Amino acid sequence: MDHEWNDNQPIYRQLRDRVVAMILDGVLKEGDPLPSVRTVAAEYRVNPLTVLKGYQELVDEGLVETRRGRGMFINTGARQLLHQGERQKFLAEEWPRVLETIQRLGLKTEDLLNANGNHQPASKESSQPAKVKDREEES
């Protein structure tokens, strides 16, 4: 996990988001234990109650379970549950801004598909902006 904190969001929420990212990336798998509250608090130099609050959000979301005397563990199905939730969140919150930027910049479908470093010019047949071309294909 990253040791830097963002001032725009509470630390407990950032901790929660980092654990979510680790689950989605496959770093933490179903059945894996979470690092102890004390370990995380010491390593990141935050209050243990802050870590506990972040972990409690994961419990409340059904992603993590507490096993008395043993710690907290990733629940079965947590990754799939997160994929659904994160996809919906992306489409509702982030995609509208991304689409607006694509349209504002007049990016073409091929520009987006070739954006992985293969900066090839778009062909003449795909010279329309990405959104306009998609609408024409639906008609």
What domains sit in the chain, N to C, each tagged with a CATH number?
1-105 (1.10.10.10), 107-139 (no CATH)
pLDDT tens-digit map of 13-58: 999 999 999 999 999 999 999 999 999 999 999 999 999 999 999 9
Residue 40's CB is within 10 A of a number of other CB atoms, namely 21
Question: If 0-12 CB within 10 Å is exposed, 13-18 middle and 19+ buried, where does residue 108 land?
Answer: buried
Average pLDDT, whole number, for the chain?
Answer: 85
Task: Give residue 6's pLDDT band: very low, low, confident or very high (50, 70, 90).
Answer: confident
What tokens does 68 get? 């008395």
Element (H, E) at 74: strand 71-74
In 3D, which of 64, 74, 72 has the Cα closest to residue 40?
72
What per-residue confidence (pLDDT) applies to 137?
A: 45
Q: Do residues 130 and 107 touch, judged by C-beta distance below 8 A?
A: yes
